[in-house]
Amino acid sequence: MYVLASVLSFAIQLSAAIIKRQGVAYYDPNANGGSMLDNAGDGLGEPLNVIVSGLSTPDVLTDDGIVNYARAIGFSEECFDIHLGGPQSANLGDGNSWVNQTYELRQDYDSSSIGTCLESLIGGNHFRVYRQNGTQADSGALFLAVSKEEDVSDGHDIVPDGYNIGRNDLVSNAVGQTSFGGVSYTTTAQNVTGLLAPGAVGVNHNISVDGIVTVLTVTIN
């Protein structure tokens, strides 16, 4: 009886944790000392302009899950896993303070194996991933810093209006039906204002943003 009670107790706790994780799309980082700009250095940051909702299918929100989803919408891991430059960090107001990016994923030009090598040369879209999972705001949501960058000859600087363009291009590729590696996804999008301030104050490269954050809800079919 004791063993059965322990198993039931564990099952109830696990169920409660799943319900908690699935019950919130995201928490506003600004409400608890966080920021919708990551830390790119020199006191400037890049906008967290896309959120993969905590209401998405839980498997999408794992490390392997977001990489597979990224491949389904035209992104892959960096060329031969080589990354130039230091990682950027973000404070999502979840109690974890400033945490380095989980991944940086780049446009793969329809080749998940070597396409990101082309992006490193000619430029394109890319995004950084941060997970909101601290004890003070555990939504499980993934906050993405998306931008379109120049080619290597221009030092991978962000193109003019590159934060808005990068977000819009990613969302355009994501919405609707996509698939990769035998996993099929349905993605819906909602634009949200009030999280990210419009303008260029504090924004890396002094590139103005429109203040729109797009929330993606991703369901595995």
Instruction: Quote the pLDDT of residue 116.
Output: 61
The pTM (predicted TM-score) of the whole model is 0.85
pLDDT for position 78: 67
DSSP 3-state percent helix, strand, coil across the chain (nearest 5): 30, 30, 40
Q: Is residue 76 part of a domain?
A: yes
Q: In sequence order, what are the beta bridge partners of 203?
A: 45
Q: Quick one: residue 85, left, alpha or beta (phi over 0 = left, psi -120 to 50 = alpha)?
A: left
- The closest alpha carbon to 73, from 114, 105, 120, belongs to 105
Q: Quickly state the pLDDT bin for 121 (edges 50, 70, 90).
A: low
Name the residue among 49, 52, 13, 34 with its Cα closest to residue 219. 52
CA separation for the pair 118, 134 (Å, rounded):
36
The total number of structural domains in the chain stands at 1
Query: From CA 10, how far away is CA 106, in angstroms rounded?
Result: 40
- 204 vs 21, residue with greater confidence: 204
Q: Is residue 9 situated within a structural domain? A: no
Question: Could you tell me what percent of the chain has a pLDDT over 70?
Answer: 78
Give the residue numbers spanning the domain of 93: 25-220
Are residues 60 and 52 in contact, defined by beta-carbon separation less than 8 angstroms?
Answer: yes
Note the pLDDT tens digit of each residue in 89-101: 999 999 999 999 9
Q: What is the pLDDT of residue 33?
A: 97
Residue 18 lies in a domain: no
DSSP assignment, residue 122?
H
Confidence label for 135 from pLDDT (cuts 50, 70 and 90): very high
| Residue 10 resides in a domain | no
Phi then psi dihedrals of residue 117, to 5 deg = -65, -35
Q: How confident is the model at residue 6 (pLDDT cuts 50, 70, 90)?
A: very low
Judged by average pLDDT, the poorest of 11-20, 150-159, 202-211 is 11-20
Asked whether 124 and 106 are in contact (CB, 8 A), the reply is yes
pLDDT at 146 exceeding the cut of 50 = yes
Asked if residue 18 has pLDDT above 50, the reply is no
CA-based nearest residue to 17, from 139, 108, 149, 121: 139
Strand bridging mode 50-52 / 213-220 = parallel
17 part of a folded domain: no
| pLDDT reported for residue 171 | 98
7 assigned to some structural domain: no
Across residues 192-216, what is the average pLDDT? 97
Encode pLDDT of 31-87 as tens digits: 999 999 999 988 999 999 999 999 999 999 999 999 999 999 999 886 745 545 578
Q: Is residue 5 part of a domain?
A: no
Tokens of 88: 């950027």
pLDDT of residue 114: 62
> pLDDT-based confidence at 147, cuts 50/70/90?
very high
- Asked if residue 186 is part of any domain, the answer here is yes
User: Count H helices, E strands: the chain?
Assistant: 4, 10
